[in-house]
Structure 1
Amino acid sequence: MTPDSSQLSSLSRVVHLLLFRQLMVFLFHLLAGVFFLHPLSIFLLFLMFLSSPCS
């Protein structure tokens, strides 16, 4: 039993859309992590540097 080509092409289109959406979500989270967590980590490192006993 072979599925007809139109059904197969629509299925592959759905799979491609899902993969593309996953990639977009991943890139968005990566950019959000760089823009929001990077200054936060610098700030935390700065606080750790200030709170460390330096003579």
Structure 2
Amino acid sequence: MAFIKRKKEQMHQNNIVYKKNRLQSILLSQDGMGVVEVILIIVGILTTYYGVSIKCIT
């Protein structure tokens, strides 16, 4: 019984360490979305949600 309990605790600790390392790598990553991508996503969401049409300058 003690072996199973120790194994579960070890698995839990390994999971915590993995999640911490994963979060750290995501936050420190230089790959990410730029300002242009964020603006395009927001415009895309707002135009479909509010039914706003974007008119191009001609």
Bin for the TM-score computed over the shorter chain: 0.5 to 0.7
Deviation of residue 43 (structure 1)?
3.2
| Structure-2 residue corresponding to 1:28 | 17
SS in 2 for 1:43: coil
| Cα RMSD, aligned residues only | 2.6
Percent identical among aligned pairs is 0
**TM-score, with normalisation over the residues of structure 1?**
0.53
Mapped to 2, the partners of 1:26 and 1:33 lie a distance apart of 10
Pairs aligned (count): 39
Deviation of residue 38 (structure 1)?
2.4
Higher fraction of helix: 1
Matched, 1:18 2:7: yes
SS in 2 for 1:29: helix
Runs of 4+ in structure 1 off by over 2 angstroms are none
- Counterpart amino acid of 2:20? L
